[in-house]
Amino acid sequence: MLLAPPIRFKFAVFLSLASAATASTRAEEPSPSPTTVAAQRPNVVLIVADNLGHGDLSCYGCPDIPTPNIDRLATQGVRFTNFYANGPECSPTRTALLTGRYQQRAGGLECALGSGNVGRYDDAIWLAGQRQLGLPPSESTLIALLKQAGYRTAGLGKWHLGYEQHFLPPQHGFDYFLASLGGTIDYFYHNEPDGTPALYENNRPIRRDGYFTDLITDGAIDFLRKQPRNEPFFLYLPYTAPSAPFQHPDRQPDRPKISTAWDTSDWQAGTRDVLRAIIQRLDRGVGAVLQTLDETDQAATTLVIFCSDNGAYPIAASNAPFRGYASELFEGGIHVACMARWPGRLPRGVVDDRLGMTFDLSASILAAAGLEPPAGRQLDGIDILGQIAAEKPAPSRTLYWRARRAERTWKAVRDGDLKYLSRQDAGQFDEWLFDLARDPSEKSNLIAARPDDVNRLKQLLAAWEQDVQPARKRPGN
């Protein structure tokens, strides 16, 4: 693939790393007028970390990775302790985020897309063969509705929702997007594990110099500084940090990291010290974004959300106190960090234990903007932030998951404190029942002791699977 010569961002003036470091130390808090804030549609900054372990932020109990800026965001707003990703991998959760619905409804997106747009289970493989593997704009809701309502929409970071031109960010309503197309890239050279360049600006491949976390932050700062005050904006920052490869921000290698298709162990290897540096650079980026909102007098009118797309893989990271890792439906794969700050609307310094899920953020953003989903496309997420702002009690709800890869299928349902999950893999079937109120680390399997609860939860799960039939199906399926 031929690459276009280096060109600048549309939002092109970058702050220096020294400025970003200074930004991370500022701790002032915006002082909005609640009446003013409530009377207008908020700006929105949505920050998504990639494969961030629940136990790797200091505000969630991490003892060895200080994250003061993310912690400050939490103390100035609401921090959730019972929040879930829609899936245990990247593409499924991002599908739910942009649609506000269970990713199963779109079809082919229950597993992370492989590098180069490879399908990893039967439905996804079939769609890849039709050049239809990705999130169709017709299924996307969040960005299109915001754009129609007059929001300026921009994104910088990980896309992972399709490589084909008809699935790229501009087709979903983004005015601008600097995108890493796939699941993972070299932080410095921006290539995928096989060496293929994977950095796009809107619809075309480009080259950039710089550590990708810093490129995202610098582009975000420039965007924020150039926004007119009379137009709301939506800024999406899906960082690739702290996902593999584990490359220290201050130690650029002489050449790109490339792994063979049959051995990516070098790509996945890493130490806790390097992971700490990656997360702290992410935290510094969050601090720089918050600082810029302060400096441009936009903090008081901006809803800022931070979350992870799923739990961490077992590479130097921690999902404490939970069992399991990314790609699994144990709590470690899906129980994630999430926090939101909306001055004048959300309370300050609240720790909230209600059940939440990624697509609730979509519903909350649309509600904050005063927008309704299109007719015939009811959201599965709920306005969780609006509930908190209105001081409404947490509703009872049931949450569902299904994750597929090759011959392996995970399923799970949480109803109240009970969680049932199963794993089918190459002819082997395992199942578990946990009482998460008493056993959040999922150590005690109650499957034999509570058969009535198992049957009830299985029935709920089966009914949900019937409800979320995909819009795109393989012939004969």
Q: So which residues are the catalytic ones?
A: 90, 160
Tell me the two tokens of residue 92. 């499924």
Distance set, CA 117 to CA 109, 130, 173 (Å)? 11, 12, 21
Q: Is the peptide bond before 92 cis (omega within 30 degrees of 0)?
A: no
8 Å CB contact between 232 and 43: yes
> Which phi and psi angles does 460 have, rounded to 5°?
-60, -45
CA distance 280 to 270: 15
Q: Are 97 and 48 in contact (CB under 8 A)?
A: yes
Could you count the other beta carbons within 10 Å of the beta carbon of residue 195? 13
Cα separation, 268 vs 181, in Å, equals 19
Q: Report in angstroms the alpha-carbon separations of 249 from 136, 181, 212, 239, 242.
A: 34, 21, 9, 14, 11
Q: What is the rounded distance in angstroms from the CA atom of residue 407 to the CA atom of residue 121? A: 7
- CA–CA dist 440, 404 (Å, integer): 24
CA–CA separation, 175 and 143 (whole Å):
10
Question: DSSP E strands: which ranges in 331-407?
Answer: 338-341, 350-352, 356-357, 398-405
Spatial contact of 139 and 106, defined as CB atoms under 8 Å apart: yes
Residues sharing a CB contact under 8 Å with residue 228, sequence separation 6 or more, in sequence order: none
| SS3 assignment, position 413 | strand
Picking from 387, 336, 456, the residue whose alpha carbon sits closest to that of residue 83 is 336
Alpha helices in 259-336 (DSSP H): 265-268, 272-295, 331-334
* Token representation of residue 268: 């996945």
Region of 190 (left: φ > 0; alpha: ψ -120 to 50; beta: rest) is left
